[in-house]
């Protein structure tokens, strides 16, 4: 029996495979928003660390760990026909429609954690509406006690506001919660809140990127139950 009583998950790159989900989506989005102008789409993509020709994000792309608002701010100077709120609305609407690739079969995985008595949450730098759409599409929303995006009133990572809100919503002490994520922002936020940060390698960050900030680095969340069981 693990000493932990709750698990707070990042979404993209943790519950859902980042590259499989977002690299194909990004190319299509950039072409749509530029009217299929590949040269302009390539140029704008570079501003957010996306190579249109290679269909690949760089490891330091703002899209990986930044909030949707930060992505909108980075794109805004290159899309003069849109204001910030309008661009954010476009990004959120497009993100809601992005097909998600589960890192493991999520429903049985999460049901197994709940059967152990664990409280579960999601803390993402995505906006809350598309985050809920993605969880709904996977049929797992009902398994979470807490879901927050960067716009839910608790701030975004690497600040620990979402972590504190999860602890408050569930009545758990931060020391009894594991924060699981694929980026340095996730791990920094978890540690700052007093949680135990655990990294997974289903985003774009490498083991070397994450290991200095994590108590453990797992290949994917499917290894989490065994890790939890090993914790006294």
User: Which DSSP string do the residues of 117-154 spell out, in sequence order?
Assistant: T-EEEEE-SS-HHHHHHHHHHTT-GGG-SEEE-TTSSS
Q: Report helix, strand or coil for 104.
A: coil
CB atoms within 10 A of CB 44: 20
The mean pLDDT value of the chain amounts to: 94
CB atoms within 10 A of CB 136: 12
Contacts of 39 (CB under 8 A, 6+ apart): none
What is the residue-level pLDDT of the chain in tens, covering all 232 positions? Answer: 579 999 999 999 999 999 888 888 899 889 998 999 999 999 999 999 999 999 999 988 998 888 889 999 999 999 988 899 999 998 888 888 888 899 999 999 999 999 999 999 999 999 999 999 999 999 999 999 999 999 999 999 999 999 999 999 999 999 999 999 999 999 999 999 999 999 999 999 999 999 999 999 999 999 999 999 999 7
Task: Tell me if 13 sits within 8 A of 203, measured CB to CB.
Answer: yes
What is 6-17+101-229's CATH topology?
A: Rossmann fold (3.40.50)
Buried-state track 109-130, b at ≥16 Cβ within 10 A, e below 16: bbeebeeeebbbbbbbbbbbbb
- pLDDT score for 1: 59
pTM value? Answer: 0.89
pLDDT digits (tens, 9 = 90+) for 9-55: 999 999 999 988 888 889 988 999 899 999 999 999 999 999 999 99
Continuous segment of H or E residues that includes residue 181: strand 177-181
List the domain boundaries for the chain: 6-17+101-229, 19-96
């Amino acid at each position: 029996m693990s000493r932990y009583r709750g698990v707070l998950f990042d979404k993209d790159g943790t519950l859902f495979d980042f590259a499989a989900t977002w690299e194909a989506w990004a190319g299509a989005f950039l072409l749509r928003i530029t009217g299929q102008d590949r040269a302009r789409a390539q140029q704008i993509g570079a501003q957010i660390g996306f190579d249109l020709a290679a269909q690949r994000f760089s490891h330091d792309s703002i899209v990986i760990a930044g909030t949707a608002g930060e992505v909108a701010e980075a794109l805004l100077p290159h899309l003069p026909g849109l204001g910030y709120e309008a661009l954010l609305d476009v990004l959120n609407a497009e993100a809601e429609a992005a097909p998600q690739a589960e890192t493991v079969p999520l429903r049985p995985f999460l049901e197994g954690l709940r059967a152990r008595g664990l409280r579960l949450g999601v803390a993402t730098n995505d906006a809350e509406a598309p985050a809920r759409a993605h969880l709904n599409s996977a049929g797992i929303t009902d398994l979470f006690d807490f879901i927050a995006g960067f716009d839910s009133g608790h701030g975004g990572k690497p600040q620990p506001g979402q972590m504190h809100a999860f602890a408050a919503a569930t009545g758990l002490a931060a020391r009894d919660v594991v924060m699981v994520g694929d980026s340095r922002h996730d791990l920094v936020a978890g540690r700052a809140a007093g949680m135990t940060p655990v990294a997974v390698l289903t985003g774009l960050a490498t083991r070397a990127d994450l290991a200095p900030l994590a108590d453990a680095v797992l290949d994917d969340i499917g290894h989490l139950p065994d890790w939890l069981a090993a914790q006294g």
